[in-house]
Structure 1
């Protein structure tokens, strides 16, 4: 995110590069930077003649170079944006000649999603030398909560850690999908508002009381009544609560608990760092630590491996989701 901020600052300051190669597994920042260049490099009246949008599936590298070598019309520069540039991955090396001597009055942007260039190759080194090569990496699940917090803070909002955890649980690590939901919330909620689990439930449709996050918490507390209530809800709403996701998340929780047992330094900050969780959630491991001895955790982790295979339909094709969820809790609580 810091690199993105620096790139936008440089563009605003007029420190433009002839080539921007935006690549990587996470498309969110590729799209954001592309949109920023599209909206900020040229004045509105200059765009009709000097801003061109191309698509990788429809053009060749030769077509792009031909367009890039043109001179701007009644403007200091032109902008050429190549969307879906990953479609050109087989011929991208043909860009070398242009990268060695790019047109100084052209800003050429490649939105190269879901893939990256080999950093050892000549083309990558050339692009990095004359322009900007930005790699947008996928965030790990434990990083997304902080990302949500930073994005909202920059826009005058806050969010409770539990609310962020619920968003990540239901939306995963797709930043574009998460951002779309945050945009909806910002339309409804006033500035300076701190988003709560209730806001998420009321406006996006996720249950704040019956979700995998609450299931893990109930299991950690050995609250069997609440845990069984949650799996009953899951059984009645299987499409919104896939079994394979539930077993995977519970397995992850106990795997982390096993790590927690092995920590010499169980301070909040060290545990959060090792377990890769928000410090706010370390208390859940503290509670589970008291309820599940290390030997029991090892047994549960082993049993959950088998159950995870069953949840994927191997050796349990005729077993209902409800029965497998009950087996999950019996495995843990017995």
Structure 2
């Protein structure tokens, strides 16, 4: 049975190491976090030279991996064998290779910590080897987080580092960086390096150290649309147009689409309480007032029209029925339609 990355990391921090880890899935961040922790912490520096082996899937087959896994450690209680890019192992998923792997994981060497980093793909859970891996290894299925879960993850990451972050600052980070957890973690780490004392992370710190403009970002564009502030919306669009590399249109479109879909959900909901709406939308209660304000500003039919306009803009950005209109002009037209 698959276990959560968080539970595996908790066990590792408590010094609990298993004989075999099979880490797979679309989200590389959790795979890297677990494998990096094992590489850095399972053995001390003097033990690593003799007892830590890093292999790459494209260079090895299952037989070679098993030969390394069955070695006994030298001058240590354990050895670590990590298979990077395990999805490239030539005979994984083939009968001969699967038999060798299955025989080992059912009776692994207790002194070996064997780690498979199988990124961006998953083994077929219907096949015998898939079922055996789930049963006999620490099996992690690392899934991409939904966009609405990113702010919560950001808050958790800060908490693990001993810091608190206010919800709007967490929202700024998630909106600006997207769902690339590795990049988010790197940006947060850079921010924390600059702090000399424990403080609550707010928008000003995010703006200063992550390079997000507090006044000109998609989060603020969203707020101007709620308030129907035409002048400020146009200022933000000009800022985006002047620096399209830092402000690509597609993520902006996705953010607006997700926002107005939630506004539509509010219109359809019978429970209009802030707590009920927060649960329905899957957002921090801090942000519910923004969605409620938008629902008051935009009646249901207008929201439906806006979602249609956003879909049209998305198609144009992807080149459908568009040969010459630039990103900036597409965004300007979209915002004009939303506000008028």
Are 2:61 and 2:91, in contact at CA under 8 Å, matched by a contact in 1?
A: no
Give 1:322 deviation, angstroms. 3.6
Structure 1 runs (4+) greater than 6 angstroms displaced: none
Q: Distance in 1 between matches of 2:327 and 2:213?
A: 19
Are 1:22 and 1:133, in contact at CA under 8 Å, matched by a contact in 2?
A: yes
- Number of the residue aligned with 1:146: 152
- Number of the residue aligned with 2:314: 308
Query: Could you say if the C-alpha distance between residues 108 and 255 of structure 1 is closer, same or farther in structure 2, counting changes exceeding 3 Å?
Result: same
TM-score, normalising length: structure 2: 0.91
The question of 1:77 aligning with 2:83 is answered no
- The SS at the match of 1:79 is strand
Are 1:247 and 1:308, in contact at CA under 8 Å, matched by a contact in 2?
A: yes
1:276 to 282, 286, 289: 282
Bigger shift: 202-211 or 249-258?
A: 249-258
- The SS at the match of 1:156 is coil
Q: Distance in 2 between matches of 1:294 and 1:13?
A: 52
In the alignment, structure 2 segments of 5+ residues that lack a partner are: none
Q: Distance in 1 between matches of 2:200 and 2:306?
A: 37
Q: Distance in 2 between matches of 1:304 and 1:160?
A: 30
1:126 to 125, 132, 155: 132
Give 1:143 deviation, angstroms. 0.9
In the alignment, structure 1 segments of 5+ residues that lack a partner are: none
Give 1:177 deviation, angstroms. 0.6
What's the CA shift string for 1:31-79, capped at 9, x where partnerless?
A: 1211222233223322221111111121111110111112222322321
Superposed counterparts of 1:154-193, under 5 Å: 154-193=160-199
Give 1:29 deviation, angstroms. 1.7
Q: Distance in 1 between matches of 2:222 and 2:4?
A: 36
Give 1:278 deviation, angstroms. 2.0
Bigger shift: 8-17 or 53-62?
A: 8-17
The question of 1:28 aligning with 2:29 is answered yes
- Number of the residue aligned with 2:122: 116
Are 2:21 and 2:138, in contact at CA under 8 Å, matched by a contact in 1?
A: yes
Superposed counterparts of 1:201-216, under 5 Å: 201-216=207-222
Are 1:169 and 1:213, in contact at CA under 8 Å, matched by a contact in 2?
A: yes
What's the CA shift string for 1:229-264, capped at 9, x where partnerless?
A: 111211222222222332332232222211111111
Q: Distance in 2 between matches of 1:190 and 1:269?
A: 36
Q: Distance in 1 between matches of 2:295 and 2:7?
A: 43
Give the CA RMSD over aligned residues.
2.0
Give 1:129 deviation, angstroms. 3.1
Query: Could you say if the C-alpha distance between residues 89 and 215 of structure 1 is closer, same or farther in structure 2, counting changes exceeding 3 Å?
Result: farther
1:95 to 95, 101, 118: 101
